[in-house]
Structure 1
Amino acid sequence: METSIIYVAVTFLLGTLATLVRLPPLVGFLAAGFVVTAAGVEKMPGLDIVAEWGVAMLMFTIGLKLDFRALLRKEAWGTSLPHMVFSTLIGAGFLGLLSLAGSRMLAGAGAGTLVLLGFALSFSSTVFAAKVLEERSEDGSLYGRTALAILVIQDVFAVGFLTGAAEHLPDPKVLLLVGLWPVTVLFRRLWRSVGRGELQVLFGVAVALVPGYWLFTWVGLTGELGALVMGLLLAPSVRAGTLAASLFSIKEILLVGFFVAIGVESDLTGQAVLMGLVLLLLLPAQGLLYVLLQRMFGLRNRTAVLSGVILTTFSEFGLIVAAYAVARGLLEQVWLPALSVAVAGSFVVAAVVNRRGAGLVDRFAEALPVQATGRLMPEDRPVALGDVRAIVLGMGRIGAAAYDQLRHVYGLSAVGVENNLERAAVLQARGVHVLAADATDSEFWQRLHPSHLVEIIVLAMPEHGSNLYALEQVEASEFDGTVAVVARNDDDVREVRSLGIDAVLHLYEGAGESLADRAATYAGIRPIEGQG
C-alpha cells in the first residue's frame, strides 16, 4: 500500500508541475517513472497490468471511432507503408554512421541489427497522437482521421512482425477469432439491453478486455490488436460514440500507468541515456517524411503538417518489438533502456511542439511549395460558399427549419453546413444547398472562402461547445453581420450573451405554449377572445 501511495503522490505532483510550466501532464507522468526508480522505490504491484489495460482501452476506443474504410484510403496506406520502409532505412543508416564514429553500443553491430533497430524506430506513438487529438477534439478531423489510420496500419505491421518472427507457427486456435464476427451480433443485442449508465461502461470494459485483449493474447497475438478489432466490430453502432465517451475517464487513468511504466522499466545508464538522446535527432527526418508522403496523396500543406507533427514521435510498439528481439537474442539488453529514453524524449519534444499550436504549423506549411487545387483531395480543397447572404451551421431539425425560414420567408440565398454525411446527402437530394463539412474542425475554417455578401450566420449545432467554437472562428474572421445561436439552458444563454451575441434562442423557450396550442387545436378548443 505504501508503495502505491508513493507512486500516486509523485505522479500527481509531477503531472501538476508539468501543467504549471505549460507542458502536457503526460510529461510529468513519464518523469514520475524515472524519479521513483532513481529513488530506489520498489515497483508498484500491478503497474504492468494497469499499463497494458490502459493501452487496450485506448485501442478499443480508437476502434469505436474509426471507420474501417479509412484504413483503405490511399493517403493512409500510401503514407504508412512507404514511411515504414524509408524510415527504417534512414534509421539504419544513421546508426551505421554512429557505428563508424566509434559508438560502443554499436561496436560489431551487423546490418541485421541496424535494420532491426531502424524498424523499431520507424513506428509513431498511437497513445500520444490519440491523446492529443482527443484533447483538441479533432480526432474526427481529416488530419486526425488520417493520422489514426496510419497508426493503426503501423500497429498491424508490428503485430505481423511479432507473429512472423516467432520460433513456431501461429497457434491453430487463432482460427477461433473468425467466430468473433457473428458473435458481435449478440454483443450488440446485449449492449442495447444494458442502457446508458454504469452497465454500459462495464460492458465496454468487458468487451475490450475479454474477447478483445484476453482472447487475442490466448491465441498468441497481441491483446492491443484484439481490443482494436473489437472496437472496429462495434463501431457501426449508432451508440459507439456514446460508449467511447463513457469510457474516457477510465481509459485516461489507466494510461497514466502506461506513461509511468515507461520510466519504471528503464534501467538507466549514462550510455543508454546518451544514446536515447542522440536518437532524437531522427525525429525531424521522420516528421518531414510524413509530410512529404501525405502531400503526394493530395493533402494540403497545412493538413499534412498537422498530421506530420502529431506523428513525429517514437512508439510504445517500437519498445514491444525491441523487447521481443532482446528476448530472442537479436538485440542486446542495453538497447531497451536506450529506446525507452528515446520514446520518452520524443513525447516531451512532441508535447512542446504541439503546444506551440497553429502558429508553428502555419510557418511550416508556408515554407512548402504551393499546391495546385486540382491535385488536392476533394475534401481538402478550399470551400467556396458562393454568393450567399446566410449561413446555417448544423442542419438538424432546428437548422433545417432556420434555413427554410431564411430562404423561403425572407428570400435570402442560404447555405447549410452539416457534418453528418448521410443527413447532408438526404438534404442535397431534396435540393437543399448543403455542404458536407464539420464546423468544429479547425481545418474547415482554414479552407473556407467566405462571401462578402453574408449578413446572417446561424449556429444551430446540437452541442453547445461546438457552437462556442464556431462562434470563436466567426469572431476571428471579423464578421460584422448578425450571429444567431441556439442554446439549451439558461447557463448557455448567459454564456453566449456575455460574448456579445444578442440573437440567442433558448431551445425550450415557448415550447410549453406551442405544446398547449397544438393540444387545444387537436381538441377543437378555441382561444379566449382577445388572447389568440
Structure 2
Amino acid sequence: MEYSFLLFAFICGLSVKLIGIPPLVGYLLAGFILHAVGFNATEELTTIANLGITIMLFTIGLKLNIRDLGRREVWANSLLHTTAWVALCSSILYGAAVVISYLTELSIASALLIAFALSFSSTVCVVKVLEESGESKTRHGKIAIGVLVMQDIFAVVFMVVATGKIPSVYALLLLLLIPLMPVFYRIINKSGHGELLPLTGFIFALGGYHLFEAVNIKGDLGALLAGLLLARHGKAVELAKSLMSFKDLFLIGFFLSIGLTALPDTPMLLTGLALCLLLPLKFAMFYFLFMALRLRARTAFLSSLVLGNYSEFGLIVGALAVSLGMLDANWLVIIAISVSTSFVFTSIAYKSSHQQYNRFKESLKRFEKTERLNEDIYPVMTNAQFLVIGMGRVGIGAFTSLSNLAKDVVWGMDADRAKINSLKHQGHNVVLGDGEDIDLWENLDMSQVRLILLALPSIEDAINVTSQLKQAKYEGKIAAIARYQDEVDILLDNGVDKVFNFFTDAGLGFAEESLSYIGDHPAAK
C-alpha cells in the first residue's frame, strides 16, 4: 500500500515539476486524488510523516541562532501578528456566519479557535520553499524561520493550556542535558563523515522527541531544542546536510497525509477555498508590521510572501479542539482544505518572488522608514575588481586563490551573517549580502568590478543573481560553477559568460597541482 502511495506521489511530483511547479504541489495533489478514489491515510504513512516533521525541526534547530529569536522584528512581529490576525479573522468569520447559512451555528469561541488555528504559517512548507530556493540563511529566510519558531511556541503553550496537561515534575531533569553537552559533542566527533553521521542525527532528533514526550511536553519541541543545543558544534551544518535527503523523503508522507485527511462535501470545499481569500490579508499584515519595525521593503516582502500560508499546526490545534468538544468536526476538514491549498499558492508564488519584487518595488519601497536597522544598511566595497558570491568551500577556495594573485582588490559576499563575521575576523575582505537583491546591486559601487564569480549551490541561484546584475546595469564578466554537464548550456543561455564544470575542472586542477608538486609535466617527456 505505502509503495503504491509513494509511486503515485512520484508520478504526480514529476508531472508538475515538468511544467515548472514545485514537486510538493504534486504530492498534495496525489493525496487528494488517492482520497477521492477511496484510499485513507495508513498508520505507517502517518509514522513516516511524523518522522519527517521531527527530522525537519531538528535540522532547523541545528541551523538556528538563538539570538535571531530575540530580534524585535521576529518576536514583536510574531506576537503582534498573531494577536491582530485572531481579532480580525474571528470578526470576519463571525460576521460571515450572520449571512451564510452554512456558518450560522458558529459561535464566538469557535470563530476565535479557527482564527487561531489559521494564524500559524507552515513550518514544513516555508522551510521546504526556502531550502529549494537556497534562501534559508538569507536575512528574510532567517526572519521567516524565527517567526515560525515563535509560532510553534505559541502552539505548544495553547495545547498545554487547552488540555490542562502540565509538564511532569521530572521535566526539570531535562536541564541535566546541558552539562552532558561535551559528551554529545564527542559522540558527533567520533561519528565520522559516513553513514554513521545521519544515524547519529536520527538518534539525537528522536531522543529529544521522546524525552520531552516522557515528561508531558510536546515532542516536536524536544527535537527542535535538541538541534539548537548542537547548533554550535563544528559539524552542525554537515550533520544537517546529511539528514536533508531523509527529511525530504519522509516529508512526502506528510504532504500525502494532508491530502488523505478527509473527503469534503461541496459546502466544506467552498468554505475551505473561501478561507484562502484571507491569505492576501495575512501577507499584508505581515508586510506592514515588518515595515513598522523598520525592515527594508524587499526583506519585508519576501518574508511576508513565504509566511503567507496556513499551517499543519493549524490542523493539530483544530484536531485538539475537536477532541475536546470545542469545535465541530467538519471544521477540521475545512482547515485541511485551506492548509493544503495555501501550500500550493505559496509554492507557486514564491517561485517568481524576486521578479514580483522587481515589478512592484517602487510601490513597496514607499513604506520604508528613513532610519534603517543596522542589519539592513548597505555594505561598502573599496577598490573591488573581483567579487566572489557564495563563500562555501568552493567560494572560499576561489577567493583565496584570487587573493594570492590580486591581493586587496578581491572581495567575497555571502548571505550567512555568521560565516561573514568569521571571515572578517580572519582579516578577509568580505561583505554581507544577498546576490539576488536588486536593491543591493543598485546601491553598491560596481564601476571597477571586472569579474564576478558565482560559487552558488544551485543553477537557479546563479541564474537569478545574473538576472539581477544585468538589471542593475553591471557591465563586467560573470563566471559560474555547474555541477552537471546539462547545466552548462542553461547557464550560458541565461547570460553567464564562462561556466566551469565542477567535477571536470576540479580533476584538471588536481592533476596540474600534483604534477607541479613533483616538478614534472607529461609534455616534457
On whether the aligned pair clears a TM of 0.5, the verdict is yes
Quick one: distance in 2 between partners of 1:514 and 1:373?
57
The Cα of 1:460 is off from its aligned counterpart by 8.1
Structure 1 stretch 140-149 or stretch 462-471: which is displaced more? Answer: 462-471
Match among 246, 250, 253 for residue 246 of structure 2: 250
SS state of the match for residue 413, structure 2? strand
SS state of the match for residue 220, structure 1? coil
> 1:47-58 to 2 correspondence within 5 Å?
47-58=45-56
Q: Which residue of structure 1 lines up, in the alignment, with residue 312 of structure 2?
A: 316
Q: Which residue of structure 2 lines up, in the alignment, with residue 61 of structure 1?
A: 59
Match among 259, 267, 271 for residue 271 of structure 1: 267
Preserved contact between residue 54 and residue 254 of structure 1 (Cα < 8 Å): yes
Q: Which residue of structure 2 lines up, in the alignment, with residue 94 of structure 1?
A: 92
> Are the structure 2 counterparts of residues 430 and 165 from structure 1 closer, same or farther at C-alpha, using a change threshold of 3 Å?
closer
Match among 16, 29, 34 for residue 31 of structure 1: 29
Code of the aligned partner of 2:12: L
Q: Which residue of structure 1 lines up, in the alignment, with residue 299 of structure 2?
A: 303
Q: Deviations over 1:158-212 (max 9, x none)?
A: 0011012223433223223222222333222111111111111111112111x22
> Are the structure 2 counterparts of residues 289 and 482 from structure 1 closer, same or farther at C-alpha, using a change threshold of 3 Å?
closer
Quick one: distance in 2 between partners of 1:323 and 1:492?
45
> Are the structure 2 counterparts of residues 471 and 163 from structure 1 closer, same or farther at C-alpha, using a change threshold of 3 Å?
same
SS state of the match for residue 258, structure 1? helix
Quick one: distance in 1 between partners of 2:388 and 2:23?
38
1:456 aligns with 2:450: yes
The Cα of 1:131 is off from its aligned counterpart by 0.3
1:437 aligns with 2:425: no
> Are the structure 2 counterparts of residues 143 and 44 from structure 1 closer, same or farther at C-alpha, using a change threshold of 3 Å?
same
Q: Which residue of structure 2 lines up, in the alignment, with residue 524 of structure 1?
A: none
1:237 aligns with 2:228: no
1:115 aligns with 2:112: yes
Code of the aligned partner of 1:18: V
Quick one: distance in 1 between partners of 2:102 and 2:475?
66
Quick one: distance in 1 between partners of 2:319 and 2:205?
24
The Cα of 1:438 is off from its aligned counterpart by 4.4
Q: Deviations over 1:430-471 (max 9, x none)?
A: 876x343145x4237745534353153253859696995666
Code of the aligned partner of 1:114: A
Code of the aligned partner of 2:179: P
Preserved contact between residue 402 and residue 410 of structure 2 (Cα < 8 Å): no
Code of the aligned partner of 1:403: S
SS state of the match for residue 164, structure 2? coil
1:127 aligns with 2:124: yes
Preserved contact between residue 438 and residue 468 of structure 2 (Cα < 8 Å): no
Code of the aligned partner of 1:350: T
Code of the aligned partner of 1:316: E
1:140 aligns with 2:137: yes
Quick one: distance in 1 between partners of 2:92 and 2:260?
28
Preserved contact between residue 438 and residue 472 of structure 2 (Cα < 8 Å): no
SS state of the match for residue 120, structure 2? coil
1:76 aligns with 2:74: yes
The Cα of 1:240 is off from its aligned counterpart by 1.1
Quick one: distance in 2 between partners of 1:317 and 1:84?
14
> Are the structure 2 counterparts of residues 466 and 435 from structure 1 closer, same or farther at C-alpha, using a change threshold of 3 Å?
farther
Preserved contact between residue 449 and residue 476 of structure 2 (Cα < 8 Å): yes
> Are the structure 2 counterparts of residues 380 and 173 from structure 1 closer, same or farther at C-alpha, using a change threshold of 3 Å?
same
Structure 1 stretch 228-237 or stretch 448-457: which is displaced more? Answer: 448-457
Quick one: distance in 2 between partners of 1:318 and 1:490?
43
> 1:193-272 to 2 correspondence within 5 Å?
193-209=190-206, 211-272=207-268
Which ranges in structure 1 are unaligned for 5 or more consecutive residues? Answer: 521-530
Q: Which residue of structure 2 lines up, in the alignment, with residue 7 of structure 1?
A: 5
Quick one: distance in 1 between partners of 2:4 and 2:132?
28
> 1:404-483 to 2 correspondence within 5 Å?
405-407=405-407, 415-417=411-413, 424-425=420-421, 434-438=429-433, 441-443=435-437, 446-451=440-445, 453-457=447-451, 459=453, 461=455, 468=462, 474=469, 477=472, 479-481=474-476
The Cα of 1:346 is off from its aligned counterpart by 1.0
Quick one: distance in 2 between partners of 1:485 and 1:121?
42
Preserved contact between residue 438 and residue 444 of structure 1 (Cα < 8 Å): no
Code of the aligned partner of 1:382: Y
Q: Which residue of structure 1 lines up, in the alignment, with residue 185 of structure 2?
A: 188
Structure 1 stretch 97-106 or stretch 56-65: which is displaced more? Answer: 97-106
The Cα of 1:150 is off from its aligned counterpart by 0.3
SS state of the match for residue 165, structure 1? helix
> Are the structure 2 counterparts of residues 294 and 423 from structure 1 closer, same or farther at C-alpha, using a change threshold of 3 Å?
closer
Code of the aligned partner of 1:182: P
Q: Which residue of structure 2 lines up, in the alignment, with residue 516 of structure 1?
A: 518
Quick one: distance in 2 between partners of 1:25 and 1:430?
41
Code of the aligned partner of 1:196: H
C-alpha RMSD over aligned residues = 3.3
Code of the aligned partner of 1:222: K
Structure 1 stretch 168-177 or stretch 259-268: which is displaced more? Answer: 168-177
The Cα of 1:70 is off from its aligned counterpart by 0.7
Quick one: distance in 2 between partners of 1:358 and 1:462?
17
Preserved contact between residue 17 and residue 28 of structure 1 (Cα < 8 Å): yes
What TM-score do you get using the length of structure 1 for normalisation?
Answer: 0.85
Quick one: distance in 2 between partners of 1:16 and 1:430?
45
> Are the structure 2 counterparts of residues 487 and 117 from structure 1 closer, same or farther at C-alpha, using a change threshold of 3 Å?
closer
Q: Deviations over 1:98-145 (max 9, x none)?
A: 1111333342x3322211111111111010000000100110110001
The Cα of 1:383 is off from its aligned counterpart by 3.6
Identity of aligned residues (%): 31
Quick one: distance in 1 between partners of 2:386 and 2:7?
54
Number of positions where the alignment pairs a residue of Structure 1 with one of Structure 2: 509
SS state of the match for residue 299, structure 1? coil
Quick one: distance in 1 between partners of 2:23 and 2:205?
26
Quick one: distance in 1 between partners of 2:100 and 2:459?
56
> Are the structure 2 counterparts of residues 420 and 250 from structure 1 closer, same or farther at C-alpha, using a change threshold of 3 Å?
closer
Task: Decide which structure has the larger Cα Rg and report it.
Answer: 1
Preserved contact between residue 312 and residue 339 of structure 2 (Cα < 8 Å): yes
Preserved contact between residue 123 and residue 318 of structure 1 (Cα < 8 Å): yes
Q: Which residue of structure 2 lines up, in the alignment, with residue 104 of structure 1?
A: 102
Quick one: distance in 2 between partners of 1:44 and 1:429?
53
Preserved contact between residue 390 and residue 456 of structure 1 (Cα < 8 Å): yes
